[in-house]
Structure 1
Amino acid sequence: MDKVLTSLWDAADHLETKEDMAAYLEAALEDGDPNLIIAALGDIARSKGMTSIARETGLGRESLYKALSFDGNPEFMTVLKVVQALGLRLRATPI
């Protein structure tokens, strides 16, 4: 039997447009899992460049990596700053 070669898949490598980013975040929001939402924001931030997001938000790059990981627990203000730096918007719609 031949060996199957696999490689790690990173969502950040596939988020190329604002539309991709918005759709990815929207899917995480629809799922409703807070850890998934934060991780999605982290993926989007990495796709744009964590250094530039850190600069735009005034937050430390390493602290952003930690806060926006699957197990991160960022303050809501951090989430809002990151969303704004990404050029995205959070919206409320009736369910």
Structure 2
Amino acid sequence: MINYQNLKNFDAAEYLETKEDVLLFLNEAFSSRDTDHIVSAVESVLRSKPVRAMQGSGGNLKNVEQTFGEDRKPTLQTLICIAEALNSQLGLFPTDCTGAIS
């Protein structure tokens, strides 16, 4: 029988080892179009090894956790800081879903 009290909660942050992992993880979260999932992903990213290393080195993310909104909604500035620290950029891309701009 499994002792559920000994099971550890899954934390995606523990599996994000590289900047590329973080980018893929965030892109997948954004593609879900689920705001709760996106916020959870951003929280995981902020706890991940690559981001913690950038914070420790005085990068753009040094104080980004403080800019994370109290209402659990990342500000645009938070997302821009994460993107810049990952040598990436935010963007919008056309989709083929109903109502998309073509």
**Equivalent AA in structure 2 for residue 41 of structure 1:** V
Unpaired runs of 5+ in structure 2?
Answer: 96-102
| Structure ranking higher on relative contact order (CA contacts 8 Å, 6+ apart) | 1
Q: TM-score, normalised by structure 2?
A: 0.66
Structure 2 distance, partners of 1:8, 1:86, is: 27
Number of residue pairs matched by the alignment:
92
**Equivalent AA in structure 2 for residue 52 of structure 1:** Q
Q: Does 1:15 align with 2:16?
A: yes
Any idea what the Cα deviations from partners look like across 1:54-88, whole Å, max 9, x if unmatched?
Answer: 94236636525xx278x512321222112211333
Q: Which residue of 1 aligns with 2:100?
A: none
Q: Does 1:76 align with 2:76?
A: yes
Structure 2 distance, partners of 1:21, 1:50, is: 13
CA contact (8 A) 2:83 2:89 kept: yes
Residue identity over aligned pairs, in percent, reads 27
Any idea what the Cα deviations from partners look like across 1:6-53, whole Å, max 9, x if unmatched?
Answer: 112111110112222121111101111223223212212221207717
Structure 2 distance, partners of 1:50, 1:92, is: 28
Unpaired runs of 5+ in structure 1?
Answer: none
**Which structure is higher in helix share?**
1
**Equivalent AA in structure 2 for residue 91 of structure 1:** G
Q: Does 1:33 align with 2:34?
A: yes
Structure number with greater Rg is 2
Runs of 4+ in 1 over 4 A off after TM superposition: none
Q: TM-score, normalised by structure 1?
A: 0.70
CA contact (8 A) 1:54 1:61 kept: no
2:59 is paired with a residue whose SS is helix
Shift in alpha-carbon separation, 1:90–1:62, aligned structure 2, 3 A:
closer
Structure 2 distance, partners of 1:10, 1:42, is: 10
